[in-house]
Amino acid sequence: MRPSMTLRFAHQPDLAATMDIQIPALAWQPVGDGRWRRTYHLDGDPIPVEVTEADHALRFFFDTPPDTAALVRTRLTDAFGTMVGDLTLDTHPTLKAIRDRYRGVIVMTAAPFEALVLTILSQNRTGEIVRQVYPALAAASGGATPQRLAALSVDQLAALIRSAGPYKASRLAETAKIVATIGVDAFDRIVRQPGPQALVYLESLPGVAHKTAACVLVFAAATRTTLPVDTHLFRVVDRLGLASHAGRNTKTVRDQLIVTLLRYGPDLAPAHFLFLLVGRSTCTASAPNCGACFLAEHCQHAATTPPGSEQP
């Protein structure tokens, strides 16, 4: 198939890292040879799309009539937006080192409702499971829109999302009904409004706490005033000395940590997932592998811990 669209970038894209852990990336699946595939649904019709790396570019492949091709192009252009290398992370040597390491990673975005569904599915589950469940859910419903999910029974939803946790079916069904009632355009406007109201609104939805709401805001509304705090980020920023804390991830500690991190600049919000990449590679919970970590020369933990004596 000939490429249907090419997006060019200032840096060489790193598609594998891009697709690793970001919530919008969980709608995409690896299909071999460095290719990734997802299916968009336009009025219920499936439109499969593949993407692969090229020289300072991404090439997309899809087959669709001209009238819908423009819509697919718009969605793809929106989804693959900023590169990590273009974020302003010069305020601290550690952040600059992280940005330089991951400069080719693309910060992905999703529509608010899709981001919400993907994030709920990812609660307490791996990305691999979401990658299996979400396409099946979208295919069965003709696109995971609020109206189409609201039309499914809780039992149907539970069967479709079983490996992501059937207990999430009722919260997905309730949320879909709420969003279908107000309309997806109104929902998008609420989520994308500036200020704290969007966070408050999202946290009022069934099964949505701060981390899920912050994921939706960061990935679907380009929010720069909050970020999701998961166990990897909580651990890594402390070890690095960027935001030291003691104790458990309580609401008070989390809120202070977010304030501290955003003092390094608002681009910390879209860059938050880079700490998860570090946390899953060298800075694991069991024992940090500082000897193999590109951040060792910047790291408070590495500077104060003799080699071979790393403790979690």
Q: Which of 78, 88, 112 is nearest to 193 (CA)?
A: 112
52 backbone dihedrals φ, ψ, rounded to 5°? -145, 160
- 148 or 239: whose CB is closer to ligand SF4? 239
Give the integer Cα–Cα distance in Å for 95 and 92: 5
| Residue 233 CB, nearest approach to ligand SF4 (Å) | 12
| Residue 104 CB, nearest approach to ligand SF4 (Å) | 20
| Residue 242 CB, nearest approach to ligand SF4 (Å) | 10
Helix H or strand E encompassing 122: helix 112-122
| Cβ count within 10 A of residue 309 | 7
Give the integer Cα–Cα distance in Å for 123 and 127: 10
| Residue 15 CB, nearest approach to ligand SF4 (Å) | 24
In contact, 104 and 53? CB cutoff 8 Å? no
- 101 or 239: whose CB is closer to ligand SF4? 239
The 45-54 sheet, strands edge to edge: 5-8, 57-61, 45-54, 35-42, 29-32
DSSP string, 180-247: HHH-HHHHHHHHHSSSTHHHHHHHTSTT--HHHHHHHHHHHH---S-----HHHHHHHHHHTSS---S
- 15 or 283: whose CB is closer to ligand SF4? 283
- 134 or 275: whose CB is closer to ligand SF4? 275
| Residue 243 CB, nearest approach to ligand SF4 (Å) | 13
Residues that bind ligand SF4 (CB under 6 A): 236, 239-240, 278, 282-283, 288-290, 293, 295-296, 299, 301-302
- 233 or 278: whose CB is closer to ligand SF4? 278
| Two structure tokens written together for 26 | 């969980």
| Residue 303 CB, nearest approach to ligand SF4 (Å) | 9
Give the integer Cα–Cα distance in Å for 73 and 94: 36
- 221 or 302: whose CB is closer to ligand SF4? 302
| Residue 77 CB, nearest approach to ligand SF4 (Å) | 34
Question: Which residues pair with residue 6 across a beta bridge?
Answer: 59
> For residue 52, how many C-alpha atoms fall within 13 Å in the half-sphere facing its CB?
12
Q: In whole angstroms, what separates CA 85 from the centre of its chain?
A: 17
| Two structure tokens written together for 267 | 């681009």
- 12 or 282: whose CB is closer to ligand SF4? 282
- 113 or 234: whose CB is closer to ligand SF4? 234
| Residue 126 CB, nearest approach to ligand SF4 (Å) | 21
